[in-house]
Amino acid sequence: MSQTFGKTSWKRFGIAMVPGIAATAAIGVALANNALAASFNVSGQRFKVTAEDLTGENFAQFGSYDFETNGTPHAVAISAFDTATIKGMCQSVVSEPALLGLKLPKVTLRLEAGNSDDVKKQVSAQNLLIDLDQLSADAEFTDINIGQDASTLKTSATANWKSPMGTGKPSGLLGFSQTAPKAHLTNVKQTAWATSAGTFKLNGLDLKLYVGDDGNGKECY
């Protein structure tokens, strides 16, 4: 990819911009009522997220790995924002639990938040980090710098990132890094493995659980 300066707009660019939520109603309600520190994953499985609109400040992206509980590694792109505002966020995950060897009906969780034109009633986050392996969106970046050494990233979100391999800071492990003071994405669809944020507030939270076939067609996409 060639280096690009100024304002750039790309479709289906492989960066993750939207947070996922762990599959628990209690955590979701707590986050809706208060701006809390949060860290989410779904036991080594990917979850789906969509958003109508996302605006982020001090964006950075670099490569790393996530690991399942059995140690299986997955290459991911880490997308970082110092601050982010999200309109019309939807997150879904399907689980097929088992108890003492007995397979239970699948459970689909669907969470929506920030469905308002008023920016004060949308989803907001600080020091947001998203681990993803797929994204499609209409994306616009202001003054983007592509090809920067990941170890030189200086945003507050990347400063708070903890490497799963103990390196302590982004190292460009997968050979790419980029940064921009502002990012704007619309019509976002992504799959992610995990996300974390210093603070994360879900205004207008609507969380539903569907059991068995009731969950058919209830994922975000």
pLDDT at 80: 93
218 DSSP 8-state letter: -
CA 124 – CA 64 distance, rounded (Å):
25
C-alpha distance across the termini of the chain, in Å:
29
Six token digits for residue 196 = 């974390």
pLDDT at 22: 33
pLDDT at 24: 37
Beta-carbon contacts of 136 under 8 Å, excluding residues fewer than 6 positions away, are 11, 12, 187, 188, 189, 190
pLDDT at 12: 32
pLDDT at 159: 85
SS3 19: coil
pLDDT at 104: 86
Q: What is the pLDDT along the chain (221 residues), one digit of tens a residue?
A: 333 334 443 333 333 333 333 333 334 444 444 444 555 555 567 889 999 999 999 999 988 888 776 778 888 888 999 999 999 999 998 888 777 778 889 999 999 999 999 999 999 999 998 889 999 999 999 999 998 888 888 899 988 787 766 555 676 555 578 999 999 999 999 999 887 888 889 999 999 999 999 999 999 99
pLDDT at 150: 84
pLDDT at 34: 46
pLDDT at 70: 73
CA 176 – CA 64 distance, rounded (Å):
10
CA 146 – CA 132 distance, rounded (Å):
19
CA 159 – CA 181 distance, rounded (Å):
16
CA 113 – CA 128 distance, rounded (Å):
17
Contact in structure between 188 and 17 (CB atoms under 8 Å): yes
